């Protein structure tokens, strides 16, 4: 493959087209066939769609990067040394603190704040149930982040600011989920289409993307760091069940945090040093 072809394939839009085409084709077929996510076949279909960012990320890395670039891609997935101790604190405490703040705001305005989620309740009766909860909360982030941050974020930041790159990923990441709202038995279908919960989900993903970039750029472009952070987002959601109003507050807090990070760390790289490109 010549260099011109590699350059064209490395364009971010190629990743997005491949990711959407793969997932939407599979999930679209599930919608037409009436497949339910509550069945074994439905779970397989869901996972076949979810792997689209991973497949696109790995595939395009193999096609467009040299041997050293491919090695770097996988080193960023497994290397703990890239992540300094203070960033582990950010990764593991950021989301629980944000949830607690959202719950507190709800309590201060007359609400109940939050209750223990299903995973937390299960631990009381069966402590070992925490293991599959952690594994499930980590599986999807591992699959998705091999594409969203592990591959395309670098491609975007080659010509765009970290803020612009984050917003592009946030919007596309949000829209990527749309077919799931029409797949019977999926979490998204349970929220409904056009409901308040629907808009919270769609809009809420956008500011969420910015802390991901902030962590990624400040941990030596660590894919592992964003996998762990994404896992904490999922796992905290399983442990703590926010009320609807507290959930609304949490989205507002995500926006405030995104604005604060940008103001303090700078829109260009979201770091105090130049971002290292792959």
Q: Is the separation of the CB atoms in 80 and 22 below 8 Å?
A: no
- What percent of the chain lies above the pLDDT cut of 70? 98
Please give the angle made by the CA atoms of 31, 34 and 35, to the nearest 5 degrees: 90
Which element (helix H / strand E) includes 95? helix 85-108
| Residue 233: domain span | 3-265
pLDDT at 275: 47
Does any domain span residue 207? yes
Q: Is the model's pLDDT at 38 over the cut of 70?
A: yes
Q: Quick check: is 125 in a domain?
A: yes
pLDDT for 1: 72
Length of the chain in residues, anyone? 278
Q: Which two tokens stand for residue 16?
A: 């997005």
Classify residue 272: in a domain, yes or no: no
Number of domains present in the structure of the chain: 1
Q: Is residue 275 part of a domain?
A: no
Q: Please indicate, yes or no, if residue 274 is contained in any of the structural domains.
A: no
Q: Give the global pTM.
A: 0.94
The DSSP letter of residue 146 is: T
pLDDT per residue over 165-197, tens digit each?
A: 999 999 999 999 999 999 999 999 999 999 999
203-223 tens-digit pLDDT: 999 999 999 999 999 999 999
Query: Is the predicted pLDDT of residue 278 greater than 50, yes or no?
Result: no
Domain assignment of residue 273, yes or no = no
Confidence of residue 274 (pLDDT cuts 50, 70, 90): low
Tally of CA atoms within 13 A in the half-sphere of 6 that contains its CB: 10
277 inside domain: no
Q: Which of 140, 1, 137, 143 is nearest to 65 (CA)?
A: 1
């Amino acid at each position: 493959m010549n260099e011109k072809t590699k350059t064209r394939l490395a364009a971010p839009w190629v990743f997005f087209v491949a990711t959407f085409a793969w997932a939407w084709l599979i999930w679209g077929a599930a919608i037409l066939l009436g497949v339910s996510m509550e069945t074994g076949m439905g779970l397989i279909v869901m996972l076949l769609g979810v792997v689209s960012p991973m497949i696109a990320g790995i595939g395009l890395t193999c096609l467009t990067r040299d041997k050293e670039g491919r090695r770097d891609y996988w080193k960023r997935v497994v290397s703990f040394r890239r992540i300094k101790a203070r960033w582990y604190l950010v990764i593991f405490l950021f989301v629980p603190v944000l949830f607690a703040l959202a719950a507190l705001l709800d309590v201060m305005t007359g609400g109940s704040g939050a209750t223990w989620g299903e995973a937390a309740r299960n631990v009381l009766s069966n402590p070992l149930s925490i293991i599959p909860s952690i594994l499930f909360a980590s599986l999807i982030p591992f699959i998705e982040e091999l594409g969203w941050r592990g591959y395309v974020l670098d491609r975007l930041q080659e010509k765009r600011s970290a803020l612009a790159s984050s917003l592009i990923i946030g919007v596309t990441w949000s829209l990527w989920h749309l077919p799931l709202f029409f797949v019977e038995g999926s979490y998204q279908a349970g929220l409904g289409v056009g409901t308040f919960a629907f808009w919270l989900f769609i809009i809420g993903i956008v500011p969420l993307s910015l802390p991901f970039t902030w962590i990624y750029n400040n941990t030596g472009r660590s894919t592992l760091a964003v996998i762990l952070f994404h896992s904490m987002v999922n796992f905290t959601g399983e442990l703590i069940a926010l009320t609807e109003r507290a959930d609304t507050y949490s989205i507002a807090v995500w926006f405030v945090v995104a604005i604060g990070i940008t103001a303090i760390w700078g829109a260009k790289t979201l770091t105090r040093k130049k971002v290292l490109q792959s």
